[in-house]
A and B are shown apart, each in its own frame.
Chain A
């Protein structure tokens, strides 16, 4: 990471051949999160995209997740996760049609790539293997409410 000052009004951050104009220092962690594995939230988002496909876009995913997880999910958080997934190559996107609620703006529709598909499968397999190895009566009993 290279900080470059100029005698003008902004400061550039040069990172992987991209120049970011820093106006406010916020959410710096975005630079540190580029790893190829899958975060927990990203995994859920990725699966939801698969569920909603081909009509998967951030609002729909956020609504779906809110229903499934029972807590408030902001569109921004979903949007960020979608962006990251796309950057990692698990998702691909194209612009869809506009609606009245969107004020005439188009939405970005996401679909899963082959890499994404392999990723969810791998994750599922890891989970299955782990589930299979849990001995009987190991997990304490409780009522699924």
Chain B
């Protein structure tokens, strides 16, 4: 008797609900009871009421005793019961084919390691300064523009005047605390001396006592409240303490320094009042020591003229950030005394959140996107490569599927089996990848100039990322056998007929080739630009040039003595002083006007100073006019030299003899242009050549042109140094090295792409290797027949490699276009770019083709060399 003959049909959903929850061995009697009772109810109270009561009836049956369960009487298997078995089989499969498994795990692990590294890097960058407990309320006061009596000038300084902060607490209740972080000394590093131990350290800052209130700097020895109150106090980092004091307790010890206290006429020394844990690497404030601001002998003299301190403020929770920043300029209206500061009228300030500072300074979102994109690409290529490897195993898998089906496996069980296998595989690869990362972390950090630690690894974001990778790769890797192979008809599969999903695989391989070509092209283009930066003629000679800085306690005139001294020896060809490093970007800028200039707007020019020998030493040519010369004594105070760009921008025509002035044309003090130099780069190739004006003066940088043997030359120069500047350290830089420093970030990017391209090639061609071996095995019989019919080995190799070569060609175009566009975003950072090297495209294509061909041909050759008599024997 079937259910449909029952005249009274209770609601269907209730039955379904019950079926879902109830043990299958109980459903029969329960549903039977319910239906019978329902029929009775309909007769007794009518259908409507019966239906209402039916819900209650069903509900009464939903109880734990009726629930699905496994018990010894009626056992129904759960997925978890099979899991152990699935894992066992998966493990056996992995061990059975060690070469395949090894390759896959290595390739996938490599990809995962790279992605994890990027993930850690992103985490590091995005969490810059987040460790400060009050980070969300801390802001840096910056100065986007200043107002002089004449006009508003955009300056984008990150600093403020030192005395600004002191007005805060009186006028702004919204500010809880402020901290100035600055250096009141000129030298690059300070020498700290304790007993006989002398240590040079550059990361030292003067700061206010509230530093420890605003920033989470962990002072573990000493009193946090009083450590920075009063003059001549210092707190030092744990590692600096170790360098200075070794194992001694640093607290209450006195450190001598080479800072001169001019008013007292002696060196400053500091009392150690605290030791703090080293500041995490992802912080803007990278200091090894802080000196109390009251140690600064000039602290009370600062006026609004010098913008030399970084000011951080801690705001109230309720503070209105926008309005607060805007209202800062009223400080100038209120306190600025025009007699004391004639130029500045007002400065406009902005509040930049502490956590956004690093993000803004490092290129912000663009690089984050690029790196995320790179991570996704890597993941994709690792995934595709893995899928290719799995596909290569498809014939074996298909047989397995056939036999399992014959033995009674359901399709869902096969899906689970294959997914388990894939997840196990991915898990192993991930373990390998993590180990690889742990081992190579230091090397990577060194190469890329980053400071990522393993400590950053154990974080929720990274671990979640790992989980996501595991699921993503595990799923896409397992889905091919799980969903395609499991659908096969056993009889067909066991006879050797495979369903071929060629288009799917071709797309995968095509995408992979596209990524490889893309990465290679990017690497090539970046390399081209980096070479260009290295080789570009900067307008001056940078080889064999050594730059020296004047020690802080000497006057620039002392250079004359030193110059004369070193020029005596055979190693030094020329020597000159200047106020800037050519190409170093440290030339000052300021408003300059010229006689006969065009336009109304106040123009800005770079302003440099050098002596008679500078142009000769640097190999800079004059276009017209003459160099500063001792024959014209007026040169010292009245002459100027400008560059070609200056002439062009100020529209001077013939510049010689024209008058130039600082500031506006009303300035009575003027200089006469006596010469025009050929343009040379004042800063890195990121920026264009701008107007430059040079005046005569002995300045604090000394450039030495060395002849012949550099190291021998430096030894001699050091001797002279010791004679003339006793008790100072001899520090020098080679100009070409110093200039390359401007491209450090670019070189890192170059290295990133270089590493990336190697990883990409390894991973993808590993997948290709697997796929090619699979395809050639597939065609063993075909090849046998062709051979019998007279095909040569060459024909066969061409036949089997043709598909791949074609795919490379198809993938190349979109890859080239994308690479071109992406690299151009990067190139926009440079005012000077290398010309497009079209040969590069050809080279990349050739390289990819060659590699592809050699891999496929290798397998094709193997197959082609097999004896047809043997391969055709079995059917």
Residues of A within 8 A of B (CB): 6, 8-10, 17-21, 23-24, 26-28, 30-31, 57-59, 62-63, 72, 74-77, 79-80, 83-84, 95, 98-108
B502 located at the interface, meaning its Cβ lies under 8 Å from any Cβ of chain A in the complex: no
Which residues of the partner chain A approach B59 to less than 8 Å between Cβ atoms?
A: 76
B46 CB, nearest partner CB in chain A, Å: 15
B357 located at the interface, meaning its Cβ lies under 8 Å from any Cβ of chain A in the complex: no
Residue of A nearest to B59 (CB): A76
Question: Do A75 and B61 have beta carbons less than 8 Å apart?
Answer: yes
- Picked from B2, B3, B30, B80, the residue with its CB within 8 Å of the CB of A79 is B30
Which residues of the partner chain B approach A20 to less than 8 Å between Cβ atoms?
A: 64, 67, 69
Question: Do B64 and A105 have beta carbons less than 8 Å apart?
Answer: no
What would 26 A/B residue contacts be, using CB atoms closer than 8 Å? A10-B80, A18-B70, A18-B71, A19-B71, A21-B70, A21-B78, A23-B67, A23-B68, A26-B62, A27-B63, A57-B33, A59-B36, A75-B33, A75-B37, A79-B30, A79-B61, A84-B65, A98-B32, A101-B6, A101-B39, A103-B35, A104-B3, A105-B28, A105-B35, A106-B29, A107-B33
Knowing A18-B72, A21-B67, the reply to whether A98 touches B1 (Cβ < 8 A) is yes
Give residues 34-63 of B contacting A (CB, 8 Å).
34-37, 39-40, 53, 56-63
Which residues of the partner chain B approach A99 to less than 8 Å between Cβ atoms?
A: 36
B31 located at the interface, meaning its Cβ lies under 8 Å from any Cβ of chain A in the complex: yes
Q: How far is the CA of A28 from the CA of B63 in the complex (A)?
A: 9
Which residues of the partner chain A approach B6 to less than 8 Å between Cβ atoms?
A: 100-101, 103
- Picked from B31, B56, B61, B71, the residue with its CB within 8 Å of the CB of A103 is B31
Question: Do A76 and B57 have beta carbons less than 8 Å apart?
Answer: yes
B252 located at the interface, meaning its Cβ lies under 8 Å from any Cβ of chain A in the complex: no
Question: Do A9 and B40 have beta carbons less than 8 Å apart?
Answer: no
Residue of A nearest to B38 (CB): A101
20 additional A-B pairs beyond A23-B67, A77-B60, beta carbons within 8 Å, are A9-B80, A18-B72, A20-B64, A20-B69, A21-B67, A27-B63, A27-B65, A30-B63, A30-B64, A74-B57, A75-B34, A75-B37, A76-B61, A101-B36, A101-B39, A101-B40, A103-B6, A104-B1, A106-B32, A108-B29
Q: How far is the CA of A19 from the CA of B67 in the complex (A)?
A: 11
Find the residue from B32, B39, B67 having the highest chain A CB count within 10 A.
B32
Give residues 1-32 of B contacting A (CB, 8 Å).
1-3, 5-6, 8, 21, 28-32
Give residues 684-701 of B contacting A (CB, 8 Å).
none
A93 CB, nearest partner CB in chain B, Å: 9
Residue of A nearest to B30 (CB): A79
> Which 8 interchain pairs have the tightest Cβ spacing?
A76-B60, A105-B32, A8-B80, A102-B32, A74-B60, A101-B39, A76-B61, A103-B3
Question: Do A107 and B60 have beta carbons less than 8 Å apart?
Answer: no
Question: Do A62 and B37 have beta carbons less than 8 Å apart?
Answer: yes
A143 CB, nearest partner CB in chain B, Å: 29
Residue of A nearest to B43 (CB): A101
Residue of A nearest to B21 (CB): A23
B61 CB, nearest partner CB in chain A, Å: 4
Question: Do A105 and B79 have beta carbons less than 8 Å apart?
Answer: no
B872 located at the interface, meaning its Cβ lies under 8 Å from any Cβ of chain A in the complex: no
B851 located at the interface, meaning its Cβ lies under 8 Å from any Cβ of chain A in the complex: no
Q: How far is the CA of A79 from the CA of B3 in the complex (A)?
A: 22
Which residues of the partner chain A approach B2 to less than 8 Å between Cβ atoms?
A: 104
Q: How far is the CA of A104 from the CA of B2 in the complex (A)?
A: 6
Question: Do B68 and A21 have beta carbons less than 8 Å apart?
Answer: yes
B267 CB, nearest partner CB in chain A, Å: 66
Which residues of the partner chain B approach A83 to less than 8 Å between Cβ atoms?
A: 65
B83 located at the interface, meaning its Cβ lies under 8 Å from any Cβ of chain A in the complex: yes
Q: How far is the CA of A92 from the CA of B317 in the complex (A)?
A: 73
- Picked from B8, B36, B72, B79, the residue with its CB within 8 Å of the CB of A107 is B36
A106 CB, nearest partner CB in chain B, Å: 6
B475 CB, nearest partner CB in chain A, Å: 17
Question: Do A102 and B57 have beta carbons less than 8 Å apart?
Answer: no
Which residues of the partner chain A approach B33 to less than 8 Å between Cβ atoms?
A: 57-59, 75, 79, 102, 107
Knowing A21-B69, A23-B21, the reply to whether A103 touches B79 (Cβ < 8 A) is no
Q: How far is the CA of A94 from the CA of B80 in the complex (A)?
A: 33
Instruction: Digitize B71-103: 1 where CB-to-A-CB distance is under 8 Å, 0 elsewhere.
Output: 110000011100100000000000000000000
Question: Do B80 and A6 have beta carbons less than 8 Å apart?
Answer: yes
Which residues of the partner chain B approach A63 to less than 8 Å between Cβ atoms?
A: 37, 40
Which residues of the partner chain A approach B70 to less than 8 Å between Cβ atoms?
A: 18-19, 21
Question: Do A105 and B56 have beta carbons less than 8 Å apart?
Answer: no
Residue of A nearest to B15 (CB): A103
Q: How far is the CA of A57 from the CA of B2 in the complex (A)?
A: 22
Q: How far is the CA of A57 from the CA of B39 in the complex (A)?
A: 16
Which residues of the partner chain A approach B78 to less than 8 Å between Cβ atoms?
A: 8, 10, 21
A13 CB, nearest partner CB in chain B, Å: 9
Which residues of the partner chain A approach B72 to less than 8 Å between Cβ atoms?
A: 17-18
A107 CB, nearest partner CB in chain B, Å: 6
Which residues of the partner chain A approach B68 to less than 8 Å between Cβ atoms?
A: 21, 23
Which residues of the partner chain A approach B1 to less than 8 Å between Cβ atoms?
A: 98, 100, 104
A117 CB, nearest partner CB in chain B, Å: 24
Question: Do B28 and A18 have beta carbons less than 8 Å apart?
Answer: no
Which residues of the partner chain B approach A23 to less than 8 Å between Cβ atoms?
A: 21, 67-68
Residue of B nearest to A6 (CB): B80
Question: Do A107 and B32 have beta carbons less than 8 Å apart?
Answer: yes
Q: How far is the CA of A17 from the CA of B71 in the complex (A)?
A: 8
B470 CB, nearest partner CB in chain A, Å: 13
A78 CB, nearest partner CB in chain B, Å: 9
Which residues of the partner chain A approach B63 to less than 8 Å between Cβ atoms?
A: 26-27, 30, 76, 80
Question: Do B64 and A26 have beta carbons less than 8 Å apart?
Answer: yes
Q: How far is the CA of A143 from the CA of B28 in the complex (A)?
A: 46
Which residues of the partner chain A approach B35 to less than 8 Å between Cβ atoms?
A: 101-103, 105
Which residues of the partner chain A approach B39 to less than 8 Å between Cβ atoms?
A: 101
A72 CB, nearest partner CB in chain B, Å: 8
Residue of B nearest to A19 (CB): B70
B32 CB, nearest partner CB in chain A, Å: 3
Which residues of the partner chain A approach B61 to less than 8 Å between Cβ atoms?
A: 75-76, 79
Which residues of the partner chain A approach B40 to less than 8 Å between Cβ atoms?
A: 59, 63, 101
A59 CB, nearest partner CB in chain B, Å: 5
Q: How far is the CA of A94 from the CA of B118 in the complex (A)?
A: 67
Residue of B nearest to A17 (CB): B72
Question: Do B64 and A8 have beta carbons less than 8 Å apart?
Answer: no
Which residues of the partner chain B approach A9 to less than 8 Å between Cβ atoms?
A: 79-80
Which residues of the partner chain B approach A103 to less than 8 Å between Cβ atoms?
A: 3, 6, 31-32, 35
Residue of A nearest to B1 (CB): A104
Which residues of the partner chain B approach A26 to less than 8 Å between Cβ atoms?
A: 62-64
Q: How far is the CA of A19 from the CA of B64 in the complex (A)?
A: 12
Which residues of the partner chain A approach B71 to less than 8 Å between Cβ atoms?
A: 18-19
Question: Do A28 and B32 have beta carbons less than 8 Å apart?
Answer: no
Which residues of the partner chain A approach B3 to less than 8 Å between Cβ atoms?
A: 103-104
Find the residue from B2, B31, B36 having the highest chain A CB count within 10 A.
B36
Knowing A98-B32, A104-B3, the reply to whether A59 touches B65 (Cβ < 8 A) is no
Give residues 203-232 of B contacting A (CB, 8 Å).
none
Residue of B nearest to A108 (CB): B29
Question: Do A107 and B29 have beta carbons less than 8 Å apart?
Answer: yes
Q: How far is the CA of A104 from the CA of B36 in the complex (A)?
A: 10
Q: How far is the CA of A102 from the CA of B37 in the complex (A)?
A: 8
Residue of A nearest to B62 (CB): A26
Residue of A nearest to B8 (CB): A101
B412 CB, nearest partner CB in chain A, Å: 14
B349 CB, nearest partner CB in chain A, Å: 56
Q: How far is the CA of A6 from the CA of B36 in the complex (A)?
A: 40
Question: Do A75 and B60 have beta carbons less than 8 Å apart?
Answer: yes
Q: How far is the CA of A38 from the CA of B58 in the complex (A)?
A: 25
Which residues of the partner chain B approach A21 to less than 8 Å between Cβ atoms?
A: 67-70, 78
Which residues of the partner chain A approach B36 to less than 8 Å between Cβ atoms?
A: 59, 99, 101-102, 107
Q: How far is the CA of A18 from the CA of B228 in the complex (A)?
A: 69
- Picked from B21, B57, B65, B79, the residue with its CB within 8 Å of the CB of A75 is B57
Q: How far is the CA of A102 from the CA of B9 in the complex (A)?
A: 10
Which residues of the partner chain A approach B79 to less than 8 Å between Cβ atoms?
A: 8-9
Which residues of the partner chain A approach B62 to less than 8 Å between Cβ atoms?
A: 26, 76
A57 CB, nearest partner CB in chain B, Å: 7
